[in-house]
Amino acid sequence: MRFMVFVRSSKPVAALHGDGLLRAGVLLDAGDLVPGACGVSGYWLIDVRDAEEAVERVRRIPLPACVVEIRQVAVV
C-alpha cells in the first residue's frame, strides 16, 4: 500500500529526514513544498504493508515540533 506523509514545520525537513525510509527500501519519493501560511511543508511517498507500518516508520523519525499527516494513496 502506498501512503503520502505530509510534514509541516518551520523549516524544511522532509528531504533531510527521509534517509531511514530510503535505507528501509520503502521510500518512493520525497520533497519540500513551497512555503505557505503554516510554514514549510514537505512530503514522503512510501510503500509499506499497511497503515500500522506507515505510522510506525514515521514514529521512528525525529521530527521535533512538526505536524504530520499520513494519507493512503489510491492506486488505480
Contact 28, 18 (CB under 8 A): no
Burial of 4 (0-12, 13-18, 19+ CB in 10 A): middle
| CATH number of the domain that residue 54 is part of | 3.30.70
Domain residues for the domain of 26 are 2-73
Beta strand residue intervals within 10-65, DSSP E: 27-32, 40-47
Residue linked to cell 511517498: 45
- The tally of domains found in the chain comes to 1
- State pTM to two decimals: 0.83
Residues 13/42/23/2 CA torsion (nearest 10 deg): 150
Span 18-60, pLDDT tens digits: 788 888 899 999 887 777 666 678 889 999 999 999 999 989 8
